[in-house]
Structure 1
Amino acid sequence: MIAPAKFKKMLDENDGRFPLLTLDEFFKDNTEEDSIAPNQWEYGRPTLAEIWNLLREIEQMPDVAWVRVALHDDTEIVRDGGDEALILVGDSIILCTDMDSGRLEKAVDCEWLCSDGVIELKQAQIETFSCVPPIPDNFKCLAIVWD
């Protein structure tokens, strides 16, 4: 999981816009099962480890340029005693791909993820984030969404 200091630096360098986090930045050592799709956790949604494994496999597909985690507005840095702690809250998974949404829904098994499906993001939606990797020609950004 991304360190609070690194996250804070990303915010400072990007006018407070949330970064798109890599899979490792969000999932590695993250034990807060309700940090993404909390309404589906304990109601069939797979564990964070299972989601992370699936997304790493998807990220290796030749028709996927990158996979990132978009954060919910509830993400915050809080004081934990004398230290700062980062409360990560994932909103959606964004994939840069040349697949159509139907094919991606099948590849990630949205039913298994207890997801509401896949939507295509407009360029203006992507620009609300910082740390967005390049989008290759003929690729688009699709989001796996919950709620």
Structure 2
Amino acid sequence: MIARDEILARSAAGDDRYPLLTIDEFFDGNDDEQSIAPNQYGYGRPDLAEIAGRLEILAADPAVAWVRIQPHEEMFEPDYVGIAAESVAICSSMSNEDIDARLDVHSLMAEGVFEGFSYAEEDYCEVPEIPKGYTPFTLTWSLTRLPRHVSDCVVVFLAYKTRRRRKPTSCHTRTWTGASSLPRHVSGGAARGLAYQDRRRRPRASCHTRTWTGASGWAFWSGLWRNSTMA
């Protein structure tokens, strides 16, 4: 498995962008099951070896130009220990439906693949060439698949941010909070509501990042979520 220091060095050499990693770099010798899709680990998500095996089979298909692991932004924080992946990038001439079927995303406890990268493409370095007729897709896991022990007497707070960061200019931020986008079993005593903010911030700038406040960080509070707090 690639060392965190090497990833950081490659990031620094790439103008502080996120280097895409090969399957072997991320998975070979990696025994940290929570280094990717930690929210689903222990609740049906296959182990790392199984995920790596499926990706390797997919990567061998002539309709796939390359497969890369997209690092998680949090692993670049100074106090972070180890490595972490946000998602998987797949460059293919197949449709997203075909990729979903080939990987069996349902059994991976993953979402269906979508076109593009987790963050803005310009926020990555070491991106392989995208051949004509091929499209980059992203395989990702989200908090919409939470463990069933989340009970009705618990208020669940989920924050999702998409923000731009790099050299000081401007920043576009979106934040979703609340329980309305959570599984159906989170109901009853748990208040439901969704707050959406779309605002401009300064002096942040042009790097697209996503942060989940969830299972490596999802927070649970007892009591009810008051609608007045969501204005």
The two structures have a TM-score, normalised by structure 2, of 0.58
Q: Which has the higher contact order (CA 8 A, sep 6+)?
A: 1
Over aligned residues, Cα RMSD in angstroms?
Answer: 1.8
Q: In structure 1, what residue type is equivalent to 2:51?
A: I
Q: Structure 2 residue aligned with 1:113, among 108, 114, 128?
A: 108
- Residue 126 of structure 2 is aligned to residue 131 of structure 1: yes
- Is 1:4–1:77's contact at 8 Å kept on the other side of the alignment? no
- Is 1:75–1:89's contact at 8 Å kept on the other side of the alignment? yes
Cα offset, 1:127, TM superposition = 2.2
Aligned to 1:66: 66
- Is 1:78–1:87's contact at 8 Å kept on the other side of the alignment? no
Q: In structure 2, what residue type is equivalent to 1:35?
A: S
Q: In structure 1, what residue type is equivalent to 2:22?
A: T
Q: In structure 2, what residue type is equivalent to 1:127?
A: E
Cα offset, 1:5, TM superposition = 3.8
CA shift digits 1:82-107 (9 cap, x unpaired): xxx96211111100000111111001
- The SS at the match of 1:87 is coil
- Is 1:19–1:129's contact at 8 Å kept on the other side of the alignment? yes
CA shift digits 1:25-79 (9 cap, x unpaired): 1111111001100010000000001101110110000100000000111114768
CA distance in 2, matches of 1:37, 1:43: 11
Q: In structure 1, what residue type is equivalent to 2:43?
A: Y
Aligned to 2:97: 102
The two structures have a TM-score, normalised by structure 1, of 0.89
CA distance in 1, matches of 2:25, 2:81: 12
CA distance in 2, matches of 1:8, 1:111: 33
Cα offset, 1:8, TM superposition = 2.6
- Residue 2 of structure 2 is aligned to residue 28 of structure 1: no
- Is 1:64–1:95's contact at 8 Å kept on the other side of the alignment? yes
Q: In structure 2, what residue type is equivalent to 1:109?
A: D
Which shows bigger deviation, 134-143 or 69-78?
69-78
- The SS at the match of 1:57 is helix
Which shows bigger deviation, 91-100 or 4-13?
4-13
* Sequence identity (%): 36
- Is 2:8–2:76's contact at 8 Å kept on the other side of the alignment? no
Structure 1 stretches lacking a partner, 5+ long: 80-84
CA distance in 2, matches of 1:23, 1:76: 19
Cα offset, 1:6, TM superposition = 2.4
- Residue 35 of structure 2 is aligned to residue 40 of structure 1: no
Cα offset, 1:126, TM superposition = 2.1
- The SS at the match of 1:66 is strand
CA distance in 1, matches of 2:123, 2:32: 26
Structure 2 stretches lacking a partner, 5+ long: 143-231
Change (3 A) 1:87 1:78: farther
Structure exhibiting the larger radius of gyration computed from Cα positions: 2
Cα offset, 1:7, TM superposition = 1.7
Aligned to 2:188: none
